[in-house]
């Protein structure tokens, strides 16, 4: 079982967040264990001080190395990977989340606004991770994002074991729009294929719509997808079938105006699919 220890001045933020939804179920089912620890436990002065102003001046408070180190020593064992959440880290990706999910023990250090003393990073931290180019008030939301993203890769955390692989980023495409009851709503009808019960046809349709949605919203991802599909197509040397681009153009052309509208693809044109 993957063990995750989170070092934070706000342990309730972690405990509360992981008690809900899929993460809460994973914890209950003992597929994952998350425990929060506060350096305040090791502060011995009257005010239980855990941070101080930066030497040389500057914004924010810096977490003191000593209480942080004592907390680290409480949780660390031989196979621990110690990760510091920080704006200076490399940006989290789905691939990174998958890799982390295979570890035995993760320790996340959450700094507050200002960060932690550099000497802890130098002596203890294996990896620095950011969740994106924007400024947060502390590392807790970062740690929670990483935990949420990696949990999906632990077998059994999602209902069926293979759903993480079907998810958009694993395939390099965004997901197609989804619909539930009723069949008609706000004057918009659910695409006919989805009601057909023909699972093979439905899966093909979903992948094509995904590709079109990706072309519209993330041309960068679409370009890569098309290159991959082209490589597969070349390798198969199936001269009878058409190129992936041509196939998508035909699929788009075959969609009715109503279908294009309900899928948000009314302003996508055949020329846009040229990679």
* Shortest CB 39 distance to ligand 9D3, Å: 15
Q: Give the residue with the Cβ less far from ligand 9D3, 58 or 219.
A: 58
* Shortest CB 74 distance to ligand 9D3, Å: 21
The CA-atom distances, in angstroms, between 34 and each of 56, 105, 148, 160 are: 36, 10, 11, 22
The CA-atom distances, in angstroms, between 270 and each of 174, 246, 247, 251, 275 are: 19, 9, 11, 10, 11
* DSSP per-residue codes, 240-268: SSPPHHHHHHHHHHHS-HHHHHHTT-TT-
* Shortest CB 134 distance to ligand 9D3, Å: 6
Q: Give the residue with the Cβ less far from ligand 9D3, 114 or 275.
A: 114
Phi–psi pair at 184, nearest 5 degrees: -125, 135
* Shortest CB 166 distance to ligand 9D3, Å: 28
* Shortest CB 274 distance to ligand 9D3, Å: 36
* Shortest CB 136 distance to ligand 9D3, Å: 4
Q: Give the residue with the Cβ less far from ligand 9D3, 109 or 215.
A: 109
Report the interface residues with ligand 9D3, using CB under 6 A: 59-60, 85-87, 111, 113-115, 130-132, 134-136, 138-139, 142
Continuous H helices in the chain:
11-18, 21-28, 65-75, 94-100, 118-124, 140-151, 163-166, 168-171, 199-217, 219-236, 244-254, 257-262
Q: Give the residue with the Cβ less far from ligand 9D3, 8 or 249.
A: 8
Tokens representing 245?
Answer: 């681009």
Q: Give the residue with the Cβ less far from ligand 9D3, 32 or 116.
A: 116
d(CA 19, CA 186): 36
Pairing of strands 2-7, 105-110: parallel
Q: Give the residue with the Cβ less far from ligand 9D3, 128 or 224.
A: 128
């Amino acid at each position: 079982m993957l063990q995750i220890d989170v070092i934070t001045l706000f342990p309730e933020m972690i405990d509360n967040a992981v008690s809900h939804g899929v993460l809460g179920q994973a914890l209950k089912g003992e597929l994952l264990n998350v425990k929060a620890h506060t350096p305040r436990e090791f502060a011995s002065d009257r005010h239980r001080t855990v941070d101080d102003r930066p030497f040389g001046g500057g914004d924010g408070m810096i977490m003191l190395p000593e209480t942080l180190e004592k907390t680290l020593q409480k949780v660390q064992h031989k196979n621990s990977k110690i990760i510091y959440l920080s704006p200076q880290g490399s940006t989290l990706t789905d691939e990174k989340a998958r890799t982390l999910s295979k570890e035995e023990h993760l320790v996340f250090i959450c700094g507050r606004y200002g960060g932690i003393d550099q000497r802890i990073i130098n002596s203890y931290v294996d990896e620095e991770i950011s969740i994106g180019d924007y400024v947060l008030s502390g590392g807790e939301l970062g740690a929670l994002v990483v935990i949420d993203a990696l949990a999906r890769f632990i077998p059994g955390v999602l209902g069926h074991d293979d759903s993480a692989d079907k998810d958009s980023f694993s395939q390099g495409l965004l997901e197609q729009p989804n619909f539930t009851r009723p069949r008609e709503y706000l004057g918009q009808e659910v695409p006919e294929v989805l009601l057909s019960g023909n699972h093979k046809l439905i899966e093909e349709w979903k992948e094509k719509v995904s590709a079109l949605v990706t072309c519209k919203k993330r041309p960068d991802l679409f370009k890569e997808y098309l290159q991959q599909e082209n490589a597969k197509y070349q390798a198969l040397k199936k001269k009878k079938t058409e190129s992936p681009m041509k196939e998508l153009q035909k699929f788009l052309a075959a969609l009715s105006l109503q279908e294009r509208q309900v899928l948000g693809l009314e302003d996508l044109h055949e020329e846009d699919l040229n990679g």
